[in-house]
Chains A and B, each alone.
Chain A
């Protein structure tokens, strides 16, 4: 606009605030703050005391008592109250603050609201440090410790045996012993299902997941989403169920469909129905699925009782004002086992899913409990999905017992009405799974889902387009998906409680118009595993072991969906500082503070990586392992695994394979064990030639053996040197094998050994310590790397430094042995593959020059070496190496 084009300097421009007339007060916000403070000072509140003189608070978030009360209290007691945090704010009052926020708050202490109330009660300003919600200091910094007396130990009359010492550590020790005793008692409780393990047990994780319903629900849900994606990919477009149905019904296109029809199928009290399959005698009775068998605990231990009470107290403390805790109505002996699912009969008595068993028993004394039947859930879910999939693949899997299906096409093809179809599919599901289900139909999935509510239990309901508004108007807003506590509270404030209320205010989204298509393709966003039950470590080693197995578990899940991750988060729940050591729920997590730490920019593609990163994070957080109550690993930023390049994988695996199969053969090593060890590091080949080699070895004089052994010990590039230097007079056909050390890319097969006579084989196995190699492969990449290095140095030695050695080789015999030539040629081929063609060219120039003075046997040897090398060249470069192909007497 004109402002910038007329060239007026920037700073002359009036700020927005000035333009609005707030300039004199220093801007809008400053004006607002001043006004609020002014209002505060002029509020008609009688001043009672001056306790909070020079204290200025700012309330952040929900507190007990609420901010308004605090404001009045501050006014009455001479303090200041800031609506916004300003530089004059001396304290922040909060009950709960996320870590992130604390970082932004700077150096102002964050204090619990009870500081204010307690101070008023006592009539003097208390030291706020006792009421700090969190300290701003980092853990590593030293801090002043205010002795906090353990409630448990101070309330409890100290036992006479301990009273003498009065030593806190002894008390702690004792409580640990009691804990252990309790664990044993737990064993007694659990006889029917075997002992409950703590996380220190290596089998713990397995058992934990086998007994976790939440785990099952989440994994099954994810599995079926995955299954649908797979089925869609593989689908041949034929649906046997649908075809059968058409045959059965005959084609009658009587009904005209307007728009699409979505079906929502929900199994009725899934866990209970599945459980009842095996317990028909319980049908019609109130039944609940839970881990525990009865609602009362056998707790004679006073200590445990006390800590339970303390924990319940703390739960209440931690809850925001006005919310009633689930544990509120429990006495100390009630079971804290949660009810996963309960039958409609039980629901009539007021029992709800997620209730603690102890409470439920009180509401419905004749409640019968059934154990979980995880196999059954899996089986029934599977059958459910397979049944539906035989009609259509337009399925959106929600969870193990809930599914959306787009039935538009089915209805069109079969000509069935919605009701006919619903009866058919429900009967079929009932027949195959022996579990009842409800089906709701609507024009979109919201309508379908809400229709299911009316259909339940074991019924069906089609929400017709004309009835939608009427039907919706009675639905409480709380039942809508996506409407949570926060939204509900806001709507409640507006006086909106049912959809009907909202309809009046004409919010179109809530009138049952949900245009989102079904989500057939589902991709996981994160993979995680978390355990907060039974975590009790006694040593750091146990802790690491557990992290290891959890890492394997979480990686297994990642691998199952064929993804890899870029980000890893470790979540630790640590016993809250003032929480009792022993939790109310047997081996539960009690009241915890949680610590999280993430690392990104990594590539998680193996369980080892997961564990390595987790260990680093754990060490950084470094919580006291005895106080650990929960551990979770989460992998996020998932990406698809790149399709495996087979050739590449093969190539990458090659080194290990090579090491696996390498054996020392040509020489009998000297007696020292060390040389034998070294010997296995050398790349020597067992090929079809093995027999000859072994035979020649046997005939060899002792002196040569030992020297040859030494040669091997000293590594490959030295071998020629040593060999030629010391054994000039020995016929070369026997010695040459000792110099071969070049890495051979040929596949070496230990099965060759089987071809040998038994005594020979045993001898070889014994001498070269092959037993290990035959059974276990010893991956030793380092030795392989060493060999490659040696290989690259080798030719230089051969050509530049050791020309004389080559000359000796040439002079030692009339004709080269085929074996030597092959071996050297293979080595050269490897050089070509390793792109060392500069060296190769020099080698062949040299060989050509040297061999040109020799007879045609040598020339032929040259040609065969060239041929082998050219194979490597063609593999790597698609062309041959330019070498001299002719000698004076003969050509290739």
Chain B
């Protein structure tokens, strides 16, 4: 039982890893040269080869795994900041992780869905403006208070502590939402959209 649970969480983590790298690539936050082309889910994807960036992503994903395997992960944000203010954010809302599914034993369905998800990710470019030069990015998680407490008590995560974001700078005020994709598998339901500042 717990084996299956961890598997879904692992699938999700792996997918988030690919997604984060590709968002960074797509948004051209870093020079294209720090990315290497790889193949995943049957399509071309890009992966950062910069150790610091990778370290940040990997550490974040450890937390994702921790929360997801207990089914406490609600959302994952990839936020782009322009001088401390979030200019846009990719939101991945985990609607459902179910651990007892027999319909997709080889995970073919999930893989195809994730592939579609990644392809859709690239369409987001059409709705977004180029990032300003001095942008940074951050990964944020939305989880339950309980899971957060548990996480903070785990000594394994001490070297990469998470800080609670206060309500104001958590989000863009009444963002414009660009829907990207909805993934509905028996194993996993995931919705992806981009929130960005309303253009005037």
Contact residue range for chain B? 10 to 19
Residues on B with beta carbons closer than 8 Å to the beta carbon of A139 = none
Which 5 residue pairs are nearest across A and B when measured between Cβ atoms? Answer: A879-B175, A837-B179, A882-B176, A879-B177, A882-B178
Q: Contact at B174–A880, with CB atoms within 8 Å?
A: yes
In the bound assembly, the distance between CA atoms of A882 and B123 in angstroms comes to: 14
Chain A residue with Cβ nearest B191: A835
A873 at the interface (CB under 8 A from B): yes
Q: A835-B191, A879-B172, A879-B195 are in contact. Are A873 and B182 (CB under 8 A)?
A: no
Residues of A within 8 A of B182 (CB): 835-838
- Chain A, Cβ-Cβ closest to B196: A882
A228 on interface, CB distance cutoff 8 Å: no
Q: What are 5 A-B contacts with C-beta separation under 8 Å?
A: A837-B191, A877-B195, A879-B175, A881-B179, A882-B177
A878 within 8 A of B: yes
Most buried by B among A836, A877, A879: A879
Does A416 count as interface, using CB distance less than 8 angstroms? Answer: no
Interface centre among B181, B193, B195, B196 (most CB of A within 10 A): B193
Is B4 among interface residues, defined by CB-CB distance under 8 A? Answer: no
Check: B113 CB closer than 8 A to any chain A CB: no
Residue-wise interface mask of B (162-191) relative to A, using a CB-CB cutoff of 8 A (1 in contact, 0 not): 000000000110111111111000000001
Q: Does B127 contact A (CB under 8 A)?
A: yes
Could you say which of B127, B176, B180 contacts A880, with CB atoms under 8 Å apart?
B176
Taking a contact as CB atoms under 8 Å apart, the answer to whether B181 and A881 are in contact is no
- Residues on B with C-beta less than 8 A from A837 are 177, 179, 182, 191, 193
Nearest B residue to A878 via CB reads B171
Interface residues of A in 77-114 (CB under 8 A from B): none
CB-CB under 8 A from B178, the residues of chain A are 841, 882
In the complex, B95 has a CB within 8 A of chain A:
yes
Nearest residue (CB) in A for B195 is A879
B198 within 8 A of A: yes
A840 to B191, CA, bound (A): 14
Q: Which residues of A contact B175 (CB under 8 A)?
A: 878-880
Partner of A877, one of B127, B177, B181, B196: B177
Q: Which residue of the partner chain A has the closest CB to B95? A: A835
Return B88 CB to nearest CB of chain A, in Å: 11
Number of A interface residues at 8 Å Cβ cutoff, please give it.
14
Residue of B176, B177, B191 with most chain A CB atoms under a 10 A cut-off:
B177
User: Measured between C-beta atoms, what is the minimum distance from A358 to chain B in Å?
Assistant: 60
* Chain B residue at minimal CB-CB distance from A881: B177
A879 cross-chain contacts in B, Cβ below 8 A: 171-172, 174-177, 195
A702 to B169, CA, bound (A): 61
- Known contacts being A835-B182, A838-B182, is A880 close to B191, with CB within 8 Å? no
Closest chain B CB from A796 CB (angstroms)? 13
Interface residues of B (CB under 8 A from A): 95, 127, 171-172, 174-182, 191, 193, 195-196, 198
How long is the Cα–Cα vector from A637 to B16 in the complex, in angstroms?
40
Question: Which A-chain residue is minimally distant from B128 (CB atoms)?
Answer: A882
A730 interfacial by beta-carbon distance below 8 Å: no
CB neighbours of B180 from chain A (8 A): 838
Distance of A836 Cα from B174 Cα, bound (Å) = 19
* Docked-complex contact A838 and B176, CB < 8 angstroms: no
B176 touching A881 by the CB < 8 A rule? yes
Whether, in the assembled complex, A874 has its beta carbon less than 8 Å from a beta carbon of chain B, the answer is: yes
B176 to A841, Cβ gap below 8 A? no
**Given the complex, which residues of B lie within 8 Å of A838, measured CB to CB?**
179-182
Is the CB–CB distance between A873 and B177 below 8 Å? Answer: yes
Q: Which A807-864 residues have a C-beta within 8 angstroms of B? A: 835-838, 840-841
B residues within 8 A CB of A878? 171, 174-175
Taking a contact as CB atoms under 8 Å apart, the answer to whether B127 and A882 are in contact is: yes
B127's nearest neighbour on chain A, judged by CB, is A882
Taking CB atoms, residues of chain A closer than 8 Å to B196 are 882
Residues on A with beta carbons closer than 8 Å to the beta carbon of B198 = 880
Minimum distance in angstroms from A484 CB to a CB of chain B: 42
- Tell me the smallest distance from the CB of A31 to a CB of chain B, in Å: 46
A841 neighbours in B (Cβ, 8 Å): 178-179
* Contact partner, A874, options B171, B172, B174, Cβ 8 Å: B174
Residues of the B chain whose Cβ atoms lie less than 8 Å from the Cβ of A877: 177, 193, 195
User: Distance (Å) between the CB of B194 and the closest chain A CB?
Assistant: 8
Q: Which residue of B lies closest to A883 (CB)?
A: B176
Q: How far is the CA of A565 from the CA of B146 in the complex (A)?
A: 24
Which residues of A sit under 8 angstroms from B193, Cβ to Cβ? 837, 877
CB distance from B117 to the nearest CB of A (A): 11
What is the minimal beta-carbon distance from B121 to any residue of chain A, in angstroms?
13
Determine the residue in chain A with the shortest Cβ distance to B173: A879
